């Protein structure tokens, strides 16, 4: 048997960076569930989409350094291209900003509602496609396996500030932490961590955050010139990478989320969080692991490039949950048409429409349920 030292040496020689991350219980569940996917595809062929043709989305540290740098370059490219939505959002200066605009416009519709998971699947696919078609990216959207870095996120390959990271933490600025008004003590305050200021290391240290804030988690952010948050408000990227928040994203929480919730209502509700009961979800835990501005802002969080890796993990967890019982769960939708049913609205259905505003037209929820053949075959991917 090879020693850990030799395995590490071989990994470095081969260009890999994941030698220190053995499969966790969620990884093992996903791998052991692939036989169910094969059986389902045998009974329900999806045209040209199958396990041989499906693209594979991988974890950040399972990419080699060249692949990581290519992804980073594509994101920087998207940030350099002019906006297509500046007429409706004067603060949007880049194609990257366009995706923040869409999220701002639809935040109150696509969270705590029937649209949360299918809409974000469409959103993620469209962003991935933009990186590939507009910026020459040859890979696919990576995800952030929260468990790998939960104990020490600041020193992880994602946040260590190296040229193959998504940039580092913010400089330390004394602050009070994040208050969650709907949660009871002691869950209503996330203690501050070691950042809070501008990000000064890594590929995104010079990026400009142009939109928002609307629901800032820091108190010293200059207000947006427009009440809708879509005016031009340039400032630095700020983070407060926080292990207190990361503690609720370890693999045991994700595994329990997948295996203990048998219908969409409880799966999604548990994932998003039940703050009145003091129960965080992995969705909120991941966002607040990054914190700062804009990642700590409910509306403009896609303005931090790490958002996309977080939501790829959200989509991966949904995918793993779905493949436990594809026949049933590809048709399982829940909740209403409005966030937390405010104002009261009807239950969502598979026939409801999702869109990305002016970026992309209507797609029925039923066409976003499967990653293998959804949207007439445009969705054809799995997670590794």
Residue closest to 125 by CA, chosen among 100, 99, 106: 99
Predicted confidence at residue 159, as pLDDT, reads 98
Domain ranges for the chain: 33-383
| CA 230 to the chain's CA centroid | 22
Distance separating alpha carbons of residues 101 and 93, to the nearest angstrom: 11
Predicted confidence at residue 316, as pLDDT, reads 98
Q: What is the CATH number of domain 33-383?
A: 1.10.1280.10
φ, ψ for residue 274 (rounded to 5)?
-120, 75
Helix (H/G/I), strand (E/B), else coil: 277: helix
Which residues, in sequence order, are bridge partners of residue 341?
none
Q: Are 140 and 56 in contact (CB under 8 A)?
A: yes
Strands 235-236, 208-209: pairing kind: antiparallel
Alpha helices, DSSP H only, in the chain? Answer: 4-13, 25-32, 34-43, 65-80, 95-106, 116-135, 146-149, 243-246, 251-260, 264-272, 282-290, 307-322, 326-329
Predicted confidence at residue 185, as pLDDT, reads 86
- Half-sphere exposure of residue 13, counting CA atoms within 13 Å on the CB side? 6
pTM reported for the whole predicted model: 0.94
Provide the 8-state DSSP code for 81: S
Predicted confidence at residue 16, as pLDDT, reads 39
Q: In b/e form, how buried is each residue of 300-337, taking b as 16+ CB within 10 angstroms?
A: bbbbbbbbbbbbbbbbbbbbbbbbeebeebbebbbbbb
How many helices (H) and strands (E) the chain has is answered by 13, 12
Residue closest to 143 by CA, chosen among 378, 325, 309: 309
Q: Find tokens 């799966």 and name the residue.
A: 267
One digit per residue, pLDDT tens: the chain, 384 residues? 333 333 333 333 333 344 579 999 999 999 999 999 999 999 999 999 999 999 999 999 999 999 999 999 999 999 999 999 999 999 999 999 999 999 999 999 999 999 999 999 999 999 999 999 999 999 999 999 999 999 999 999 999 999 999 999 999 999 888 888 778 888 788 899 999 999 999 999 999 999 999 999 999 999 999 999 999 999 999 999 999 999 999 999 999 999 999 999 999 999 999 877 778 899 999 999 999 999 999 999 999 999 999 999 999 999 999 999 999 999 999 999 999 999 999 999 999 999 999 999 999 999 999 999 999 999 999 999
SS in 3 state form for 184-244?
CCCCCEECCCCCEEEECCCCCCCCEECCCCCCCCCCCCCCCCCCCCCCCCCEECECCCCHH
Structure tokens at 3: 């020693």
- Half-sphere exposure of residue 295, counting CA atoms within 13 Å on the CB side? 33
Q: Are 157 and 168 in contact (CB under 8 A)?
A: no
Predicted confidence at residue 9, as pLDDT, reads 32
CB atoms within 10 A of CB 256: 12
**pLDDT, tens only, 166-181:** 999 999 999 888 888 7
């Amino acid at each position: 048997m090879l020693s850990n030292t030799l395995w590490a040496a071989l990994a470095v020689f081969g260009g890999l960076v994941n030698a220190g991350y053995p499969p966790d219980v969620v990884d093992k569940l996903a791998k052991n569930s692939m036989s169910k996917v094969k059986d389902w595809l045998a009974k329900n062929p999806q045209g040209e989409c199958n396990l041989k043709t499906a693209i594979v989305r991988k974890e950040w540290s399972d990419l080699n350094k060249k692949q990581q740098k290519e992804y980073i370059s594509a994101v920087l490219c998207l940030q350099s291209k002019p906006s297509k939505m500046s007429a409706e959002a004067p603060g949007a200066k880049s194609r990257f900003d366009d995706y923040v605009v869409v999220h701002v416009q639809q935040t109150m519709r696509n969270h705590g509602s029937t649209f949360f998971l299918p809409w974000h699947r469409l959103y993620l696919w469209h962003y991935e496609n933009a990186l590939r078609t507009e910026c020459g990216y040859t890979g696919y959207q990576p995800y952030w396996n929260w468990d790998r870095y939960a104990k020490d996120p600041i020193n992880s390959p994602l946040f260590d500030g190296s040229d193959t990271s998504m940039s580092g933490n913010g400089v330390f600025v004394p602050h009070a932490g994040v208050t969650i008004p709907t949660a009871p003590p002691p869950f209503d305050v996330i203690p501050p961590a070691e950042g809070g200021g501008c990000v000064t290391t890594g590929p995104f240290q010079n990026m400009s955050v142009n939109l928002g804030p609307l629901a800032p988690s820091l108190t010293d952010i200059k207000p947006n010139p427009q009440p809708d948050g879509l005016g031009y408000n340039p400032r630095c990227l700020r983070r407060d990478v926080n292990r207190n928040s990361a503690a609720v994203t370890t693999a045991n929480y994700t595994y329990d989320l997948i295996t203990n919730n048998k219908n969409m209502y409880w799966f999604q509700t548990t994932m998003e969080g039940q703050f009145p009961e003091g129960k965080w979800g992995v969705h909120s835990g991941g966002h607040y692991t990054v914190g700062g501005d804009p990642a700590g802002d409910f509306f403009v969080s896609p303005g931090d490039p790490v958002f996309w890796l977080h939501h790829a993990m959200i989509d991966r967890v949904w995918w793993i949950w779905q493949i436990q019982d594809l026949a049933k769960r590809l048709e399982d939708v829940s909740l209403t048409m409005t966030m937390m049913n405010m104002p009261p609205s009807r239950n969502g259905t598979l026939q409801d429409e999702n869109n990305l505003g002016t970026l992309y037209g209507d797609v029925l929820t039923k066409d976003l349920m499967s990653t293998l053949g959804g949207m007439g075959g445009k969705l054809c991917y799995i997670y590794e």
